Every structure is written in structure tokens, then in C-alpha cells.
Structure 1
Amino acid sequence: MYLKTLHLRHFRNYSDQKVEFTAAKTILVGNNAQGKSNLLEAVELLATLRSHRMARDRDLIQDEQPASQINATLERDSGISDLSLTLRRNGRRTVAFNGESLRRQMDFLGVLNAVQFSSLDLELVRGSPEIRRNWLDTLLVQLEPVYAHILHQYNQVLRQRNAYLKKIQDTEQKPQQSQLAIWDAQLVTTGTRVIRRRDRALSRLAPLAAAWHASISGSTEVLQINYTPNVPLQQNQQEEIQQAFLTKLQQRAAAEMYRGTTLVGPHRDEVELTINQTPARQYGSQGQQRTLVLALKLAELQLIEEVVQESPLLLLDDVLAELDPYRQNQLLDTIQDRFQTLITTTHLSSFDSQWLNSSQILYVQKGEISTSDF
């Protein structure tokens, strides 16, 4: 797939900016806080309807503007598509495909596929389980667009069940078992769908990431990715997961009443990353942790490509500075012209002349983009 044009209106620090992409690799050059990352964020929103920075819609709209719009023209094997995403300060976002408004946002997903790799991704190793869950969920949305709806359903039930538990805690009234049983049944049904898909995705991603990691590390280190769901998972069978889920809910019922929140379910899952059987966050240097994240990102690209049968876009947000020359070369050699790639950087010295000659170079300053330096 190939992103031909991108048009940003009142998005972040862009008032009205159209970009035409003329090469497989585009390097966006500029000082920090000029808008380079904002452009990549716009592409990511078109792909996943999520922001890597976990921003709220109103944070993405220019000050004193009621709405912002992202438009794109995308070329795929099936033909050319026009994508449009409108974000509103006081209202719901809307999406359109080839000029036609879509009632369900889920139908917008899967048209544009992209993998984002930024310096924030180092938190995948060092950060909280929530960061790894968000990373996995974002990947899953691209592999199975219906997952966005499944996850939304689960989070909705979780919020309502938590509100009920909090009400019981605050008023100290006795819980109505029939009411709680309804929430339990819905939590188990929706949560099991989340667990099964996360397990399935990681079982496909893990061997790809391990192979990339072995390649980058010269086979001196072994990467393992283990999905450790909050609900015991013997095998990926719906009935067995549901039964285990229900049993654990019953076991934690008293603790949930006391704390006024749901303690069981995929919102407490963990993705364990280990190198040579040692937890990655405790293991070695920052360089080794960067190798792990690079392996994860290359595995994401490969898995999406296998599933959708087309190469996704690669968005590299200021990561070359985070990688040593060897890892930079590993990444750049892998990309070549196989993936359309948008790269942000503060200077061009990281790239050899061959890369520069085959790339489109755009300069970014204060929300304006030009083909020549300002």
C-alpha cells in the first residue's frame, strides 16, 4: 500500500497543509516541536483511530477551532481510496471512505495499515503492563478490525460493573446477587473474546520477534514473549476460559466488594518479555532493550504484511538517534523499498548518500512543510 497524499486542517499545529508523497521513503527534517511527530500521528490515527500519545480528541484540534480534519489518498492493490477523519471539540468524531460517511467507525479500520516506532516505545520494556496491553490491542485492531468493537464492549461492561461495585461500597448496601450475576456474565462473555484474540495474536507474533531478535543480536540472546492473562489459560477454548473466568470472579468477590473495583479480567493481563530467561526490564543495557523493541516492531510489520497481504506503512519517529549505528543499519537494510516509510529526524547525518538520494526530503518548521530548507 502507498500513501499518496495527506491533507491536515487545524490538526495539532497545522492550519492547512497538504503533502504529496513522491518516494517510498520520506524523511521529515526539522528541530524539535515543529510538527514532525504530529504528521506521523495523523497517519497513525487513520490506521488505528488511536493516538500513540494517548491524546484526547480536543488535544488534537488547533486552539479556538471547533474541529480538525485529516484527509488522505491511499493506493492499494484493490485501487485508490480516499480517507477522511473529522475530530470535533464538542462532539463525536466521524469517518468517511471514498466520500461516504460510515456509520460504524470499525468499518474504517483495516483500509490503511501502519506500524509506528517512536522513542516512547522503549517504555514497552520498562513501563507498566498497561503500556504492553495498549501496544498489543493497537496491533490487534489492524489484524482484526472487529477487535476494536470487542474491546469497546468489554471496557463498557467493565466501567458499568465498576460503577455498581463502587455504589455498593459507598452506600454499604448489600449487593443484589442477581444484578451482580448479570454484570459477571457480560464481563465473562466480552472478556473471553479479548483474551482469546490476544493469545492468538501473540502466538503468531512471538516466533517472528524471536527470529528478528536472534538476527539483530547475532544469536547471542534468546527473546521469549509470554502472554500471562489475569484469567488462567490452559488452552484457547471458549468454554474453558469462561469457566475459569467465572471461578476466579467468585474467588475474588469479597475483595472486589471491599475495594469497589473489578480485580479479574483482561484489563489486568501482562505480556512478559524475557531475554535469556531473565525479565527484559531487569536485563542488560539500554542497547539490549532497544534491540528487543526493534525486533517487536519488525515482527509487527511482518505479521501485518502476512495477514493483509500488503506491506504496511512504517512510521519512524525520531528513533534513529536512539539506535547505535549497527542497529540503525539493521533497520534501514530491512526497510529498503519494501515498506513505504516516513522518518522524522533533526538532522540528515544518520543517513548514507544512497538513502538520501532515493528519499523524498521534506523540511518542517512551525507547522509548515516545504521541499527546501527554511
Structure 2
Amino acid sequence: MFLELLSLSDFRTYEQLDVRLTVGATVFVGPNGIGKTNILEAMGYLSTLSSHRVSSDAPLIRFGSERALIRAKMIRGGQTSSLELEINGSKANRARINRGNPGRARDVLGICRTVMFAPEDLALVKGDPGIRRRFLDELMVSLVPHHAATRTDYERVLKQRNALLKSSRGGRFTSGHEATLDVWDQHMAQAAARLLHARIDVLKQLEPHFARAYGELTDGSKAARAVYQSSLEITEDEDAKVGIQRGDSPPGRPVGSIEDTTLRYLEAFCTVRKKELERGISLVGPHRDDIQLVLGSAPAKGFASHGESWSVALSLRIGSYYLLCEDDPAPGATPVLMLDDVFAELDRQRRTKLAAIVSTAEQVLLTAAVLEDIPETLEARRVNVVAGGISE
């Protein structure tokens, strides 16, 4: 898969930008703050409907404009797809595929597959659990686009349940509240079970590729692992006691079917109901889970060096790339690989190893402040980024 044309209108700093690309590596070169990352961000948004830099869409729209447009022409296995995504500030985003009628934005999911690594990804190791959950959810949707609805359904139910819990604080919990909460417990348990199983299935697929990538980037002296930590497996934490630890369940693995897991969530909700009513929030569910990254026998967070943390974060992205390649091994279906100012953060040995890995991709898009940051072994077409546009 490769991007042949990318056109941006009122996206970030660009009033209008048109970039034609080819297979192989392309490096966007320019000083920091000139807008190199905006180009990769637009491509990533087309793939995931989210930005790796901000949590809302508003900053993506050029100041003073009402909407932004991302247009792309993709070549996948000899088949051409034309995509258009409209990002609106005051109404729902819209998408157009092959110049058809406008539809839902999420209709484009799965057509354009990308994997992007950026300096912000260091937070995958050092940051809060929510960052790791988001990483896993985005990979989950890339692999199985209908899981976008799985995640949305859970978030909708969680919001409604939290609103009910909040309204019941301070002794305002009546029999009517209790009956309503019982109903929302059922909805949330079902949605949580579906999301939990989807996440763990994706992590199970990712883990060997993550371990392989870390071995390729380093000297291989430490093994890298990723372990899913579900709130269903925790016997006691700082907020709630959930006495449902099952001895027959390996850490990070749900027991049995989705129906079994649904029942376990219902048990957990009963156990923590008093605490939830006091706090006014849901204390058990996928929104409180984490993915523990392990190097050797120690957690990467708090124990890994800065260089090791960079390698772990990069390995998660490269592992994702390997998994997406495995998911669709057809010729010309490999994802577009994007690296935002990555080589500047690596020592010479890791630069060389990373260059060898990315050179196998059909298309690689890179950014760099100076061309010297890119290893000579990685032959790349140069595109100079200037204020408001590009110059080749």
C-alpha cells in the first residue's frame, strides 16, 4: 500500500497543500515548527480518525476556518481508492469514498492502514494507562474496523452509568435509582466483556511481534513482553476491593466466553457498588485496565533506562506494523510506515538497525530537522518543507 497523493485544505497551518508521493522512502526536511509533522498527522488521522498529538479535532482546523479537508489517493495491491475526510468544528465529520455520497467518517476505517511512531510515543512506556489503552484500541480497530462500534458502545454506556452514579451521591440513592442502575449494570457488563475480549485477542496477536521488534532493535539481552492487566483480576487496589480473583485464570486473560466475563463484571459491580455510589464513578471496567510492558523480569515503567524506554515504545509500533502485515499478506497491502523525527533520538547502532527494518516497507514517510539525521543506508527522496508549503 502506498499514498500517491495527499491534499490538505485548512488543516493545521496549511491553507492548501498538495503532495505527490511514490513508493520507497520520502523524508520531509525542515526546521522544527515549520509543519512537517502536520503532514504525517493528516495521514494518520485518515487511518485512525484521531490525532497522536491532541485529543479533540478543533486544533486540526486552521485558525479562522470552519472545517478542514484531507484528500488522499491510495494504491493498494493495484487497486486505487480515493478518500476525502471533512473535519468539522460544529457538526459531525463526514467522509467520501471514491467520490460517492458523503457518509459517516468511520466508513473510511480499514481502507488506509498506517503505523506511525512519534516522540510522543515515549508516553506509551512512561505515561498513564489511558495512553496504552488508546494504543491498543486503535490497533484493534485497524485490524477489525467494526470494533470501532465495540469501543463506542462501551464509552456510551460508561458515560450514562457514571451520570447515574454521580446523581446518586450524597444519600440520594433511591429504589428507583437502584433499579435503573441494575439495568445499566447489565448493559455495561455486556459492553465491557466484548471490549475486554477484543483487546486481549489483539494483544495476544501483537505480543510475539513486539518481542521480535525489540530483539531486532537491541542486543537481545532482555526479552520484552506485554501483559494485559484487567480490573477483574485485581483483588485490591487503592479505590476498591474486588474479591473475584480466579485461581484458574492466568493474569490478564478472561475466563471462558464473553457470557462468562459478563457475569464476572456483574459480580464485580455488586462488590464495589457502595464505593461507586460514594465516589460517583465506575470503578471496574476496561476504562481502568492497563497494559504492563516488561523487560526481562522488571516493568519497563520506572525501571527501564531512557534508551530502553525509547526502544520499547518503538518496538510497539514496529510490532504493530508486523502484525498488520501478517493480517493482510497480499502483495501491495503492507501499511504505510511513518516516523516523525525518530532517528534524531537514537544512537548510531539503533539508527542502523531501524533503517534496516523500515527499508522493507513499501512506503516510508519520515521527518527530520536535518537530512544528516537519516542513515545513509536508507535511500530516501527529499522534500523540503517551508512555511505554508513544500519545495522540492
TM-score by length of 2: 0.91
- Partner of 2:112, secondary structure, is coil
Alignment check: 8 A CA contact 1:106 1:146 kept = no
State the 1:130 CA deviation. Answer: 0.5
State the 1:101 CA deviation. Answer: 3.2
Alignment check: 8 A CA contact 2:337 2:361 kept = no
Structure 1 window deviating more from structure 2 (170-179 vs 45-54): it is 170-179
Aligned residue for 1:103? 103
Is 1:142–2:142 an aligned residue pair?
yes
Q: For the residues of structure 2 that align with 1:140 and 1:12, how far apart are their CA atoms?
A: 27
Matched ranges for 1:32-43 at <5 A: 32-43=32-43
Aligned residue for 1:317? 340
Is 1:188–2:189 an aligned residue pair?
yes
State the 1:189 CA deviation. Answer: 0.9
Percent identity (aligned): 32
Q: For the residues of structure 2 that align with 1:286 and 1:268, how far apart are their CA atoms?
A: 26
Q: For the residues of structure 2 that align with 1:14 and 1:161, how far apart are their CA atoms?
A: 41
Structure 1 window deviating more from structure 2 (164-173 vs 236-245): it is 164-173
Is 1:269–2:272 an aligned residue pair?
no
- Partner of 1:101, secondary structure, is coil
Alignment check: 8 A CA contact 1:72 1:83 kept = yes
**Aligned-partner residue type, residue 62 of structure 1:** R
Structure 1 window deviating more from structure 2 (328-337 vs 198-207): it is 328-337
Aligned residue for 1:330? 353
Matched ranges for 1:32-71 at <5 A: 32-71=32-71
State the 1:236 CA deviation. Answer: 5.0
Q: For the residues of structure 2 that align with 1:100 and 1:328, how far apart are their CA atoms?
A: 43
**Aligned-partner residue type, residue 129 of structure 1:** P
Aligned residue for 2:391? 370
1:247 aligned to 267, 274, 279, which one?
267
**Aligned-partner residue type, residue 3 of structure 1:** L
- Partner of 1:199, secondary structure, is helix
- Partner of 1:294, secondary structure, is helix
- Partner of 1:15, secondary structure, is strand
Aligned residue for 1:16? 16
Matched ranges for 1:111-190 at <5 A: 111-169=111-169, 172-174=172-174, 176-190=177-191
Structure 1 window deviating more from structure 2 (4-13 vs 286-295): it is 286-295
Matched ranges for 1:302-313 at <5 A: 302-309=322-329, 310-313=333-336
- Partner of 2:268, secondary structure, is helix
Q: For the residues of structure 2 that align with 1:77 and 1:236, how far apart are their CA atoms?
A: 39
The verdict on how the C-alpha distance between 1:215 and 1:25 changes in structure 2, with shifts beyond 3 A counting, is: closer
Alignment check: 8 A CA contact 1:249 1:264 kept = yes
1:73-117 deviation per Cα after TM superposition (whole angstroms, max 9, x unaligned): 000115100000001122111011101135343321000000110
Q: For the residues of structure 1 that align with 2:36 and 2:54, how far apart are their CA atoms?
A: 17
State the 1:172 CA deviation. Answer: 2.2
Runs of 4+ in 1 over 6 A off after TM superposition: none
Q: For the residues of structure 1 that align with 2:376 and 2:151, how far apart are their CA atoms?
A: 45
Q: For the residues of structure 2 that align with 1:164 and 1:352, how far apart are their CA atoms?
A: 56
Matched ranges for 1:169-248 at <5 A: 169=169, 172-174=172-174, 176-232=177-233, 233-248=253-268
1:15-38 deviation per Cα after TM superposition (whole angstroms, max 9, x unaligned): 011000034111000111111111
State the 1:272 CA deviation. Answer: 0.5
Structure 1 window deviating more from structure 2 (12-21 vs 92-101): it is 92-101
Aligned residue for 2:363? 340
Alignment check: 8 A CA contact 2:47 2:113 kept = yes
Alignment check: 8 A CA contact 1:94 1:101 kept = no
Alignment check: 8 A CA contact 1:102 1:108 kept = no
Return 5+ residue gaps in structure 1 as ranges: none
Structure 1 window deviating more from structure 2 (309-318 vs 37-46): it is 309-318
Alignment check: 8 A CA contact 2:355 2:375 kept = no
Q: For the residues of structure 1 that align with 2:17 and 2:308, how far apart are their CA atoms?
A: 39
- Partner of 1:231, secondary structure, is helix
Alignment check: 8 A CA contact 2:119 2:340 kept = yes
- CA RMSD in angstroms comes to 1.5
Q: For the residues of structure 2 that align with 1:145 and 1:38, how far apart are their CA atoms?
A: 25
Return 5+ residue gaps in structure 2 as ranges: 234-252
State the 1:160 CA deviation. Answer: 0.6
State the 1:141 CA deviation. Answer: 1.1
Is 1:360–2:381 an aligned residue pair?
yes
- Partner of 2:132, secondary structure, is helix
Alignment check: 8 A CA contact 2:45 2:51 kept = yes
Aligned residue for 2:85? 85
1:323-362 deviation per Cα after TM superposition (whole angstroms, max 9, x unaligned): 111111111101114231110110011234453xx42211
The verdict on how the C-alpha distance between 1:244 and 1:45 changes in structure 2, with shifts beyond 3 A counting, is: same
